Structure 1
Amino acid sequence: MENFKKVHNREKTRSVKWDMRHVVFQSDDVLPMWVADMDFQAPKAVNDALIERAKHGIYGYTIIDDDIKNPIINWISKRHNWEINKEWLSFSPGVVASLHMAVQAFTEPGDNILVQTPVYTPFYSVIEAHERNVVKNPLQQKDHYYHIDFEDFEAKLKQGVSAFILCSPHNPVGRVWTKEELQEMARLCLKYDVLILSDEIHADLIYPGNTHFPLASLSDEIAKKTITFMSPSKTFNLAGLQASYIITSDKETKEKLDNQLLKQGHNHINTMGNTAMEAVYKHGAEWLDELLSVLEEHKKYVTAMLEEKTDVLTVTRSEGTYLLWIDCSQLQLNSEDLKSFMNQTAKVGLNAGIDYGDEGEMFMRMNIACPRETLEEGVNRLIKAVNNR
């Protein structure tokens, strides 16, 4: 666990999280707990592999061979009980880039694309940048826990939707969808002939008592209408290495997606991303198990502290990801004043809930993937600011 206790100075490393504070929060003394990367070093196996590769000193074009594909296949089989084969795999620099490619390949300008709000902010740009229309199926919150409004879901599909971008596990609300929920969403998409683009980048970050089910693993029929997007970037803190993969079992669908990736020049990953992906999927399991234990304790700590030490901040019940969705509605501030309060008064840099959709107006998103010392400092700043307001 010592790997997760050490505080690393990330300033002046061109870190978006730390070196963009003045731009994002208009202050350099804000404690950044926002963008989804971790303040933990990646597994030692990654650093060893990257250093060894760098010793070679030649960085030419890189192939993606079975030494990379087989560890992915084995990982998904062991961690998610899903048997895939290497012919289903495609590669790109990132999940968001892949979603852009899929939207262009399988929908047309003016088409409607469904999302479940509040939702990961790039989903909006993935749709709107290509002149498609965002259709919302707002999630319903009850007792600080989110549910799917299936009546509204079907009503939206019935009106005409070309694709549905599923966030599973869900960012930012932390839901890990049950098998029954996934089956019902898939049933309705099949009924209305809607392609499912399933963003499963947080699939490995699941808290005890919950299970992530890859949507396409539920049946061959569902798999035929589903494209799955995954990456080790969130799991092992590799976002800057830009490596992701796509799983598509339907041959015709995969060919169409691969053509779009090729057309846009996004059908490969860089040398170091290749190297890191192989290393973590071969040797990262123990590190991940330790991380999950740390995150579980962090989640419990933040939840207990905010609810015991304040009367206005409540953490939404989270089942996955290292992102907590905090209900700030009792502060009775509008979205702009809430952001200002967190940035200027509490001096904690969180993601503003309004950025995830109007449904998130009274919320803030907190990244708890940091050493306990950093976490406690951020929580104490919040408590102090709230209780002195």
Structure 2
Amino acid sequence: MSVTPLQALPLELLRQRSSTKWRKYPEEVLPFFVAETDYELAPPITEALTRAVRLGDTGYTPPDPGVREAFAGFAARRFGWDVDPAHIFWTGDVMMGVVEILRRVIEPGERVVVMTPVYPPFFDTVEEAGGVIERVPLARTDRGWGIDLTGVEAALRAGARAVLLCNPHNPTGTVHARESLAALALLVERFDAMVISDEIHGPLTYAPGGFTPYLTASAAAAARGYAVTSASKTFNLAGLKCAVMIAGGATQARVLKALPAEVEWRTGLFGALANVAAYSADSDAWLDSLMAALAQNRALLGELLREHLPLARYRAPDAGFLAWVDVSAYGWGDNPAPHLRREAKVALHHGPLFGVEGKGHVRINFGCAPEVLREGIERIGALVS
């Protein structure tokens, strides 16, 4: 059955938004830098939030906002993952969850494996938890990027106590294979360490069934793992604070249950309401339409780069609406984004912020109207034509 792609909102309407994407730079700059998308909210989310505003329902988040059951249902439908509801907890956002879990699985000064290039807050989160960053770059192959298991093993052997995993990976869009995740779990088990997996981009995987939640990769993964996720990236809810923390087993569930009450209290009521609505079956059709739109743009970006920036290196992501593009051949320096913002009036994310592997790279958000994406790449192409 064919799915009608979701239509992005027009620029004149989007510019009325007050979020970072539309307020950081002047109007003449096209924004592709931050992970906000340009679509209407899923109708169930709009309905839930509208009802809350009409009721003046703007108080504290209740002890059980329904997030647990909603996420468990979503995971079963979309990933085939049977999550024990007793293993599900919530907090304000994914990085809050990561730092609180890290504080329980490492001691100050212990090392945490981070697979670069990676989402810049990973670095800050490890330091906030008192850890020391142990960089293990992703392995680059003809088929894309993957976990450098040899590098991870060396880091764990040298004393690293935890692995902070990004699955699917940001910025490369890599969906780690089940076999790779299971092999990672065996290493972690051997060296008595722990994995915390940021899985916020999981619902945005293109191939049906292609995403493997880390905790489902093997019994070893479940025994020594946590996952943290949210509906915020998929459903564009970053300003509404709510994330889900999932324990791989009863031992980790006791750790999450023992977290200070304030960790749960950081969840915003609107965030909880929106996440419950997003995870409901009523939002599945909207998500299918979103994925159809993103799949078109993912292909379009490849075409535009071949036409206007033929020296750029781009591998279509396995998941998400973020493209990791190497433009080093054009001589725009280690950090091309400021130059492109000044000269082309196009704002992209700064590659070096993701680690030294990001030199000469930019990250492009293609969760927008095709014509906006086309104009952005044409503007950059005009610099080299």
| Mean Cα deviation higher: 310-319 or 374-383 | 310-319
Partner of 2:9: 6
Are the counterparts in 2 of residues 34 and 351 from structure 1 also a CA contact under 8 Å? yes
Q: Are 2:224 and 2:248, in contact at CA under 8 Å, matched by a contact in 1?
A: no
Q: Provide, for residues 110-144 of structure 1, a one-character-per-residue CA deviation record: whole Å limited to 9, x for no partner.
A: 10000110001000000123332110111132458
Displacement of 1:246 in angstroms is 0.7
Q: CA deviation at 1:261?
A: 4.2
SS in structure 1 of the partner of residue 41 of structure 2: coil
Matches within 5 A, 1:149-164: 149-164=148-163
Name the CA shift for 1:304/1:12 in 2 (closer, same or farther; >3 Å). Answer: closer
Q: Report the equivalent of 1:24.
A: none
For 2:142 and 2:345, how far apart are their aligned partners in 1? 28
The letter of the residue matching 2:10 is V
Q: How does 1:88-237 map to 2 (within 5 A)?
A: 88-143=87-142, 145-208=144-207, 211-237=210-236
> d(CA) in 2 for partners of 1:70 and 1:256?
20
Per mean C-alpha deviation after superposition, the further-off stretch among 112-121 and 77-86 is 77-86
List runs of 5+ in structure 1 lacking aligned partners: 22-26
Pick aligned residue for 1:279 from 261, 277, 288 = 277
The answer to whether the aligner puts 1:20 opposite 2:24 as a matched pair is yes
After superposition, the Cα gap between the structure-2 partners of 1:127 and 1:373, relative to the gap in structure 1 and judged at 3 Å, is: same
Structure 2 counterpart of 1:6, one-letter code: L
What is the CA–CA distance in structure 2 between the aligned matches of 1:351 and 1:195, rounded to whole Å?
30
Q: What's the CA shift for 1:81?
A: 1.1
Written as runs of structure 1 = structure 2, the 5 A alignment for 1:284-323 is: 284-323=283-322
Aligned pairs for 1:242-261 within 5 A: 242-261=241-260
Does the residue aligned with 1:223 lie in a helix, a strand or coil?
A: helix
Aligned pair 1:327/2:326, yes or no?
yes
1-structure distance, mates of 2:143, 2:351? 15
Query: Deviation string for 1:198-243 (max 9, x for gaps)?
Result: 0000000011366001111123332121001111001111111111
User: 1: distance between equivalents of 2:19 and 2:119?
Assistant: 20
Secondary structure of the structure 1 residue equivalent to 2:227: strand
How much does 1:301 deviate?
0.6
Take 2:142 and 2:212, find their aligned partners in 1: how far apart are those partners?
25
1:68, distance to aligned residue in structure 2 (A): 3.6
Question: Residue 228 of structure 2 contacts residue 246 of structure 2 at CA under 8 Å; is this kept in 1?
Answer: yes
3-state DSSP class of the match of 2:53?
A: helix
Which letter maps to 1:19? R
3-state SS in 1 of match to 2:204: coil
Partners in 2 of 1:31 and 1:16 — Cα distance?
13
User: Which residue of 2 is the match for residue 365 of structure 1?
Assistant: 363
Residue deviations 1:320-370, cap 9 Å, x none?
11100001121133224x233211112110001100000111110000011
User: Which amino acid counterpart does residue 88 of structure 2 have in structure 1?
Assistant: L
Superposed CA RMSD in Å reads: 1.9
Give the conservation status (yes or no) of the 8 Å contact 2:52–2:58.
Answer: no
| Distance 1:251-1:210 versus aligned 2 partners, 3 A rule | closer
In structure 2, runs of 5+ residues without a counterpart are none
Provide the C-alpha distance between the structure 1 equivalents of 2:80 and 2:143, rounded to a whole number of angstroms.
30
Q: Distance in 2 between matches of 1:293 and 1:125?
A: 34
Question: What SS class does the counterpart of residue 61 from structure 2 fall into?
Answer: coil
Q: CA deviation at 1:316?
A: 2.3
Shift of 1:267: 4.2
Check the 8 A contact 1:307/1:314 in 2, yes or no: no
1:2, distance to aligned residue in structure 2 (A): 7.2
Deviations 1:157-211 (A, max 9, x none): 1101111000000000110111111111111111111110000000000113660
Distance 2:312 2:337 in 1: 14
Alpha-carbon distance between aligned partners in 1 of 2:379 and 2:309, rounded to the nearest angstrom: 12
3-state DSSP class of the match of 1:260?
coil
Report if aligned partners of 2:92, 2:266 keep a CA contact under 8 Å in 1: yes
Cα deviation code 1:266-315 (max 9, x no counterpart): 44522212221221211111011111111111011111111233332121
- The 8 Å contact of residues 146 and 176 in structure 2, kept in 1 or not, is answered as no
Q: Report the TM-score when normalising by structure 2.
A: 0.93
The question of whether the paired residues in 1 share the 8 Å contact of 2:65 and 2:272 is answered with no
Show CA shifts across 1:82-132 (max 9, x none): 101211111001001111111222211110000110001000000123332
C-alpha distance 128-68 of structure 1, shift in aligned 2 (>3 A)? closer
Aligned residue-pair number: 380
